[in-house]
Amino acid sequence: MTSGTRVAPFGLKPWFSERVWGKSDLKPWFDETGTTKLVGEAWLTGPQCLVQSGPFKGRTLASVGEKMGGEFPLLVKILFPADKLSVQVHPDDAQARAMGETRGKTECWYVLEAEPGATVALGLKAGVGAKEVAASVESGTLELLLEHVPVSVGDMLFVDAGTVHAIGPGVVLLETQQTSDVTYRLYDYGRPRELHLEKGLQVIKSKTQAGKVAPREMAGFTRLIEQRYFVVDRFEISATRKRTVDFAGAGCLVGLAGSGVVRTPDGELELIPGRTVVVPMGDGDVVVETKAGVTFARCVAPV
């Protein structure tokens, strides 16, 4: 966000996105979704998420952004696949603008849950390009051309724009990405959904920087990933402690385990699994306190 009216941190209500590959039960992350349909994604900082505290309570994040000088730069979600997602690809900024979109979509996945043997598809095998992808879509064999990466709880994976990828069941992922929903679906296992093969073939890259990212221990937290569009860190605060968490850019805190509170000029904000506290301007610190211990992610858009 660019400069605008200074606004204290605030809580957001998750928005649940119905998907054919989703789940009907998102426990223990969420007790209720407000729908009986399958939910695949909980958008934690979506434009349509409602502010739950402060002077903008009841407003959407998108409308608050207009008041503060710009769109919130990160879209943070939790993904709940019960079935395979489509094989898809996202454009980079230049490719997206050339196709009339605002920006591209670079993202990362932090593994919150993983069943034994769980994998994600991330990138194409050596020697595979657009021609081979097109032929494999026609023959229904695209999955055979993908690199399948084993994952376990605590893994961080970078999904560079242009990377052909797919997520399967057996995982729950915290996704941090550019605020964009530009997705080109290449293959969908015969499900009756629209494909975007022509655009997708234009933006796929045979080689990208996608892959697992090794964590780095910092002063009091763990850096999970540091990229152009986002930095994601994990904090673990033990019982009866408080911690000052700084922000060098607009961002948010996402509760992962335990419980705590974030102290703001407007009062206390609850920090529990699946809930988000937005720090809109990124020019100050927030204080997190806990009585029984809390683990959370700090997701920041670097300035």
- List residues forming the annotated binding site: 90, 107, 165
Residues facing residue 243 across a β-bridge: 288
Q: List the one residue out of 289, 248, 147 whose CA is nearest residue 207.
A: 147
Output the DSSP codes for 131-198.
Answer: HHHHHHHHHT-GGGGEEEEE--TT-EEEE-TT--EEE-SSEEEEEEEES----EEEE-TT-S----HH
Q: Is 59 annotated as catalytic? A: no
Residue 170 tokens, joined: 């057996």
* List 19, 103, 185, 275, catalytic entry: 185
Residue 202, helix vs strand vs coil: helix
Annotated binding site for Zn(2+): 90, 107, 165
CA–CA separation, 230 and 38 (whole Å) = 29
∠ Cα 57 262 283 (to 5°): 80
Residue 196 tokens, joined: 């975007």
* The residue to which tokens 């034994």 are assigned: 116
Residues belonging to the active site: 185
